[in-house]
């Protein structure tokens, strides 16, 4: 079955005041059936509003929403075959695990024996066997999260929605759960829309990432595209802490960043541009390059983080080389290779 989601020029304004700002400003995108799309962006950019419009919890001010090719714009949440898992995954505290998971099926009229059998199946699917009779308070945070996931999956929704599902978990569990969600999604061929403000989470789980900024889509594409070829300063900065420097593309495609010339030529833009440089792109201790003095050095276990004073201003760089640490005050040279360096146009604000 085609469970894909499509937004066509969807806008959303809260309340009746026509002069109030739009929370979502005419966005169009597709989530192809059987794939996982994350909606990524800073607080207030419209991620949750977009997800709630997929769920039918908010209705668009204008535009069209399709699911499986069917216009669902005016349908309520109960008519869309979607399940949503929230940040606070509140299980019923007085019900045991299997009753919690069976609850939605019971509400939709499935008899008790069938509902419990299907709930046990769903619990097995998320790796929770032999926990049926426990109360939520007798489970760890990660296990409770799995129960919530089973509760969403048991309804066999056409579309599964996640709103920052992992933000209450510690770093290790977050990593474990995101892998679990991704492998379940792939194994069951689920269509998933997933809201997060964490770019590393988005990179790890997605087929497609939609980066939003002030209610518009700043860029969408595969994780590799967004990380490797950001089209704007905003996306470059948001995906992986790139620093942005003013630069020039000369006729012939040579790119110069102050005294530094990039090793690759550029054809897409010309004249005054900006260059986004990821912290891992700097070659520290290069034979030729710009002069740099270490202002700050931090040891992070698997790498060093440096802040250098350079003719380009302060430069933030990361080095995996643990054998030759540089102390504050040390002088070195910095060069750039072709990886981790993107040319973006100057007028690339997505705030429009
Ligand atoms: P966060 O990561 O902080 O949850 P978000 O990207 O999910 O942010 P939204 O919650 O979609 O952003 O909010 C988008 C805009 O709409 C914000 O300016 C917000 O203040 C506004 N907004 C959200 N919900 C409502 C509401 N119920 N009534 C009025 N304005 C709202």
Read off the CATH number of the domain in which 133 is found.
3.40.50.300
Is residue 184 assigned to a domain?
yes
pLDDT level of residue 118 (50, 70, 90 thresholds): very high
Q: Is 197 in the pocket of ligand 1 (CB under 6 A)?
A: yes
| d(CA 20, ligand 1 centre) in Å | 13
| d(CA 209, ligand 1 centre) in Å | 20
* Residue where a domain stops, chosen among 184, 199, 227: 227
Report the distance separating Cα 244 and Cα 238, nearest Å.
11
Residues 185 and 271 reside in one and the same domain? no
What pLDDT digit, counting tens, does each position of 17-63 carry?
A: 888 889 999 999 999 999 999 999 999 999 999 999 999 999 999 99
Residue owning the nearest CA to atom 1 of ligand 1: 43
Query: CA distances (Å), 350 to each of 9, 216, 235, 343, 346, in order?
Result: 16, 7, 9, 16, 12
Q: Is 189 in the pocket of ligand 1 (CB under 6 A)?
A: no
Structural domain tally of the chain? 2
Q: Is 44 in the pocket of ligand 1 (CB under 6 A)?
A: yes
Q: Is 14 in the pocket of ligand 1 (CB under 6 A)?
A: yes
* Residue where a domain stops, chosen among 196, 227, 258: 227
Q: What is the pLDDT of residue 57?
A: 93
Q: Is 52 in the pocket of ligand 1 (CB under 6 A)?
A: no
Residues 214 and 287 reside in one and the same domain? no
Is residue 234 assigned to a domain?
no
pLDDT level of residue 348 (50, 70, 90 thresholds): very low
Q: Is 196 in the pocket of ligand 1 (CB under 6 A)?
A: no
Q: Is 175 in the pocket of ligand 1 (CB under 6 A)?
A: no
Question: Are 232 and 350 contacting, i.e. CB atoms less than 8 angstroms apart?
Answer: yes
pLDDT at residue 2 greater than cutoff 90: no
Residue owning the nearest CA to atom 3 of ligand 1: 43
Question: Are 147 and 139 contacting, i.e. CB atoms less than 8 angstroms apart?
Answer: yes
Is residue 141 assigned to a domain?
yes
* Residue where a domain stops, chosen among 198, 227, 256: 227
306-319 mean pLDDT:
95
Q: What is the pLDDT of residue 56?
A: 94
Residue owning the nearest CA to atom 16 of ligand 1: 23
Residues 70 and 208 reside in one and the same domain? yes
Is residue 206 assigned to a domain?
yes
- If you search the block for the tokens 């967004």, which residue do you land on? 226
Is residue 350 assigned to a domain?
no
239-253 mean pLDDT:
87
- Range(s) of the domain holding residue 279: 244-345
Question: Are 211 and 236 contacting, i.e. CB atoms less than 8 angstroms apart?
Answer: no
Helices (H) and strands (E) in the chain, counts: 8, 20
Residues 19 and 114 reside in one and the same domain? yes
Residues 179 and 212 reside in one and the same domain? yes
pLDDT at residue 250 greater than cutoff 60: yes
Residues 169 and 53 reside in one and the same domain? yes
Report the distance separating Cα 55 and Cα 78, nearest Å.
9
| d(CA 299, ligand 1 centre) in Å | 38
Report the distance separating Cα 71 and Cα 49, nearest Å.
19
Question: Are 166 and 177 contacting, i.e. CB atoms less than 8 angstroms apart?
Answer: yes
Dihedral over Cα of 284, 290, 294, 295: its sign: negative
Check which CATH number belongs to the domain holding 291 and give it: 2.40.50.140
Residues 260 and 182 reside in one and the same domain? no
Residues 262 and 194 reside in one and the same domain? no
Q: Is 61 in the pocket of ligand 1 (CB under 6 A)?
A: no
Report the distance separating Cα 237 and Cα 255, nearest Å.
20
Residues 27 and 155 reside in one and the same domain? yes
| d(CA 334, ligand 1 centre) in Å | 42
Residues, the chain, total?
352
Nearest atom in ligand 1 to the alpha carbon of residue 215 is 14
The average confidence (pLDDT) of the chain is 90
pLDDT level of residue 350 (50, 70, 90 thresholds): very low
113-125 mean pLDDT:
93
Residues 210 and 272 reside in one and the same domain? no
Is residue 49 assigned to a domain?
yes
Label residue 282 exposed, middle or buried (CB < 10 Å: 0-12, 13-18, 19+). Answer: buried
Nearest atom in ligand 1 to the alpha carbon of residue 51 is 11
Residues 130 and 272 reside in one and the same domain? no
**Percentage of the chain with pLDDT > 70?**
97
Q: Is 21 in the pocket of ligand 1 (CB under 6 A)?
A: no
Nearest atom in ligand 1 to the alpha carbon of residue 46 is 11
Is residue 238 assigned to a domain?
no
Residues 101 and 55 reside in one and the same domain? yes
Is residue 233 assigned to a domain?
no
Residue owning the nearest CA to atom 10 of ligand 1: 48
Q: What is the pLDDT of residue 18?
A: 84
């Amino acid at each position: 079955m085609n469970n894909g989601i499509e937004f066509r020029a969807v806008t959303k304004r809260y309340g009746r005041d026509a002069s109030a700002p739009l929370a979502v400003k005419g966005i169009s995108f597709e989530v192809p059936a059987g794939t996982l799309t994350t909606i990524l962006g800073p607080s207030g950019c419209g991620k949750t509003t977009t997800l709630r419009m997929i769920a039918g919890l908010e209705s668009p001010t204008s535009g069209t929403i399709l699911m499986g090719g069917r216009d669902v714009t005016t349908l309520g949440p109960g008519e869309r075959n979607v399940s949503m898992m929230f940040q606070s995954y509140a299980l019923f505290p007085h019900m045991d695990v299997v009753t919690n998971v069976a609850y939605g099926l019971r509400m939709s009229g499935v008899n008790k024996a069938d509902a419990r059998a299907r709930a046990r199946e769903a619990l097995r699917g998320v790796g929770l066997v032999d926990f049926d009779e426990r109360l939520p308070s007798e489970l760890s945070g990660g296990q409770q999260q799995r129960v919530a996931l089973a509760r969403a999956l048991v309804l066999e929704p056409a579309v599964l929605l996640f709103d920052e599902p992992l933000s209450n978990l510690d770093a290790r569990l977050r990593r474990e759960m995101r892998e679990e969600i991704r492998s379940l999604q792939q194994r069951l061929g689920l269509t998933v829309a997933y809201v997060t403000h964490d770019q590393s989470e988005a990179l790890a789980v997605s087929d497609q990432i939609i980066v939003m900024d002030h209610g518009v889509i700043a860029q969408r594409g595969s994780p590799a595209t967004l990380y490797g070829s950001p089209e704007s300063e905003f996306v470059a900065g948001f995906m992986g802490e790139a620093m942005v420097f003013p630069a020039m593309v000369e006729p012939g495609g040579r790119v110069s960043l102050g005294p530094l010339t990039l090793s690759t030529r550029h054809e897409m833009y010309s004249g005054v541009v900006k260059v986004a440089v990821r912290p891992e792109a700097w070659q520290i201790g290069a034979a030729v390059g710009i002069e740099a003095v270490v202002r700050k050095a931090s040891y992070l276990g698997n790498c060093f983080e440096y802040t250098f004073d350079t003719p380009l201003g302060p430069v933030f760089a990361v080095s995996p080389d643990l054998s030759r640490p540089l102390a504050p005050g040390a002088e070195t040279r910095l060069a750039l290779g072709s990886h981790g360096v993107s040319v973006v146009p100057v007028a690339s604000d997505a705030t429009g």
